[in-house]
């Protein structure tokens, strides 16, 4: 199945899968259009990832001054979210939003994304599929007396 099809899901279904475990009140500041931009922007970033190599990018928020976006695509592993958020807290970075979808994905030998599934049952997935963690964090910081998060 091609990435465009996202295992037959519509664009709205992919976005729903992406934000599945995020509380509605945490998404209150995002319009439907912004949710689509976040989910599909992250998928575009994930479009090529060599096997076993994590991808990380940090960029300024296009809509919020003093806010940064951190995106990660990596093999799923225990305590990933805890490790990342604890390190950010240790460096006085205030976290505004954490989105952490896990997808069963298939990639070719060059790391190109071939298929994305919202199913977490990797046992039912094809043998060439793996579970990946995608993290999207919106942060302010570092936070100190002269730079406080809104």
pLDDT digits (tens, 9 = 90+) for 110-127: 999 998 886 666 566 677
- At 121 the pLDDT is 62
Q: Which two tokens stand for residue 75?
A: 């093999």
Per-residue pLDDT, averaged over 62-91, amounts to 93
- At 122 the pLDDT is 59
Which of residues 64 and 7 earns the better pLDDT score? Answer: 64
């Amino acid at each position: 199945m091609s990435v465009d099809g996202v295992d037959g899901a519509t664009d709205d279904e992919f976005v729903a899968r992406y934000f599945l475990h995020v509380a509605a009140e945490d998404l209150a500041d995002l319009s439907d259009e912004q949710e689509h931009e976040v989910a599909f922007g992250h998928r575009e970033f994930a479009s090529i990832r060599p096997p076993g190599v994590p991808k990380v990018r940090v960029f300024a928020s296009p809509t919020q001054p003093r806010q940064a976006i951190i995106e990660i695509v990596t093999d799923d592993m225990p305590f990933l979210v805890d490790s990342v958020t604890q390190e950010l807290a240790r460096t006085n970075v205030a976290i505004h939003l954490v989105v952490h979808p896990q997808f069963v994905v298939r990639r070719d030998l060059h790391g190109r994304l071939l298929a994305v599934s919202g199913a977490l049952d990797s046992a039912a997935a094809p043998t060439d599929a793996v579970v990946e963690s995608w993290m999207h964090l919106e942060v302010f910081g570092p936070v100190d007396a002269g730079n406080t998060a809104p």
